[in-house]
Structure 1
C-alpha cells in the first residue's frame, strides 16, 4: 500500500515538471484553402493577455510552397485592444533572396519563414484581436499554405 501511495507522488511530480517550460501563452494557425490567400480572407487570432507587467515574444510564421512566385509577402496586421483601440500596420516578410534562394527553413516543397517581435509589452490586460490581411495588389496570392501566430511570455523579465 505504501508503494502505491509513493507511486502517485512520483507521477504527480513528473506531471508537474513536464507542464513547466516555455509553452506558448497562445499558438494558433490558419490554413488557406487551396494554398491561396484571397483578398477577402482575413485570418483572426484572439489572444488573452493576463498582465501588463510581463514581456512577451510574438511570433508570426508563414508557410509557402517552393512554387511561391515572389521574394516577399506584404500583409497588414490589424489590432484591437481590450478597450477597443485599433491599429493597422503594414509588414513585409522576406521569403527569398534576390538570387531566388529561400530565406526560411525548407523541407521538401515547404518553405517556412518566421519573424519574432521580442521583449514586447501589452498596454492593457484582456482580450486582443489580431487580423491579417494580405497586402499584394492581386486578388489571390498563390502557394501560401498557412499563417501562425504565437505569443510566449519572455523567460527573462529584465
Structure 2
C-alpha cells in the first residue's frame, strides 16, 4: 500500500506544480542546425484575458553550440496585427565555458526571460516568431547555419503579481 500512496503523492505534486503553466510548446531544430532563414512561429490563443502572464523562450543546446551567448530576434504579433520586434541577447555559458542551462549529459535547457506581465486582452491568435541573429566576432554577415541548438520553445506562465 505505501507504494501506491507514494505514486499518488508524486502525481498530485506534478499536477499542482504545473497549475501556473498556461502554454508550452517546443519546436525541434533538424539535426541541431538552425538556418538563419528558418523562422519559428508559435500561435497562442484562449488565454485568461484578465490574468497577467510571463513569457519565456526555452532553448536546448548541445556541445556543438560554439558561443557563450545567443542573439535572437523576436516578433510578438497581436490579433489586431500590431507587431513588436525585439533583438535579445542571452548569456548561455559562464566565462569558464560551463553551460548555464539545466540538464544532465550533453543537452542543456535554458529558460530565458522574454516578456513580463503580459495581458492577452484581445480575442484571437497571438503569434510569437523567433529567429537567430548570430554572427562571428568581427563579421558583418550573419551565420547562415547556427549549430548546436536542438529545440526552441515558448512557455507562458501566470504571473504572481
Same fold (TM over 0.5): yes
Equivalent residue number for residue 62 of structure 1: 59
1:142 aligns with 2:156: no
Which runs of 5 or more structure 1 residues have no equivalent in the other structure?
1-17
Equivalent residue number for residue 10 of structure 1: none
Residues 125 and 57 of structure 1, relative CA distance in 2, 3 Å threshold:
same
The runs of at least 4 consecutive aligned structure 1 residues that moved more than 4 Å come to 18-21
Distance 1:57 1:87 in 2: 16
Equivalent residue number for residue 110 of structure 2: 113
Q: CA RMSD in A?
A: 2.5
TM-score between the two structures when normalised by the length of structure 1: 0.79
| Contact persistence 2:50–2:121 (CA under 8 A) | no
1:71 aligns with 2:65: no
Which runs of 5 or more structure 2 residues have no equivalent in the other structure?
1-13, 135-141
| Contact persistence 1:43–1:131 (CA under 8 A) | yes
Residues 121 and 108 of structure 1, relative CA distance in 2, 3 Å threshold:
same
Please state whether the residue corresponding to 2:21 is helix, strand or coil: coil
Equivalent residue number for residue 99 of structure 1: 96
Equivalent residue number for residue 126 of structure 2: 128
Q: Kindly report which structure 2 residues correspond to 1:75-94, keeping only aligned pairs within 5 A, or say none.
A: 75-94=72-91
Q: Which has the larger radius of gyration?
A: 1
Distance 1:140 1:90 in 2: 18
How far 1:53 moved relative to its partner? 2.5
